[in-house]
Amino acid sequence: MKVEILGINIDNITMDQAVNKVNSFFDGKTHTVFTPNPEIIMLAHKDEELKDALNSADILLPDGIGVVIGAWLIGTPLPERVAGFDFTCNLLKTDRTFYLLGSKPGVAELAAKKLKAQDVKIVGTHHGYFNDDAEIIGDINEKKPDILLVCLGAPKQEKWIYKNKDKLNVALCLGVGGTLDVIAGTAKRAPMIWQKLYLEWLYRAVKEPYRIPRLMALPQFIIKIAFGGRK
């Protein structure tokens, strides 16, 4: 079941349901999962290519308490927030193989080193600063991962996956922003108390004031839904 929020079809799904659904993706096809938050949904409201990319996904996770609030405002509540980072961590606990794509040079390799120390099966890495899609796709297909983590930031990662998914020999492409930076230790998530209070966005604003203009998408998102409903 989907919940339409500003033209984006968010899955009405829990974390456990999403992780279990991935088990059905190993069928010889390439599947996609995206994790839109209010900022990404607001971008898609003005960007048809991004909107098409998001709505093509096999799963759209409600990443951000703002998405959950938005669904409640239009009368179709979601069961919970499903953060992309936490979803990724759950997949990393499985026996699947992974390729890490994105972030600055050296970050994916550092993340891979830390994950391998936890017995996660990493078959390849590449930073996010590249111009030749064919070369990257060739390396990914040669390494044959089950799951490709794409951390290029929104909307670049969603558009890249949407453009190239039919060329990739992987079961799942997952767009998860800054996940590699957090795993590598070059960036930090909000402390757990901030997460439990659904104030990660405020923590980022305090720690990184340059993000404030981007974070303004949250109140704009809520106001737009409150006055405009689904559309």
pTM of the model: 0.92
Q: What is the pLDDT of residue 213?
A: 72
Q: Could you tell me what percent of the chain has a pLDDT over 70?
A: 94
pLDDT, tens digit (0-9, with 9 covering 90-100), for 124-141 = 999 999 999 999 999 999
Q: What is the pLDDT of residue 210?
A: 67
Contacts 24+ apart (CB under 8 A), 44-48: 44/6, 44/7, 44/8, 44/155, 45/6, 45/7, 45/224, 47/155
**Band (229; pLDDT cuts 50, 70, 90):** low
Amino acid at 50: L
Please give the Cα distance from 48 to 85 (Å, whole number).
Answer: 26
The average pLDDT across 147-157 equals: 97
- For the chain, the structural domain boundaries read 2-18+28-226
Q: What is the pLDDT of residue 56?
A: 98
pLDDT, tens digit (0-9, with 9 covering 90-100), for 190-227 = 788 887 777 776 677 667 776 667 667 788 898 999 88
**Neighbouring-strand partners of residue 5:** 8
Give the chain's mean pLDDT: 93
pLDDT, tens digit (0-9, with 9 covering 90-100), for 81-90 = 999 999 999 9
Burial 80-91 (b: 16+ CB within 10 A, else e): ebbbbbbbbeeb
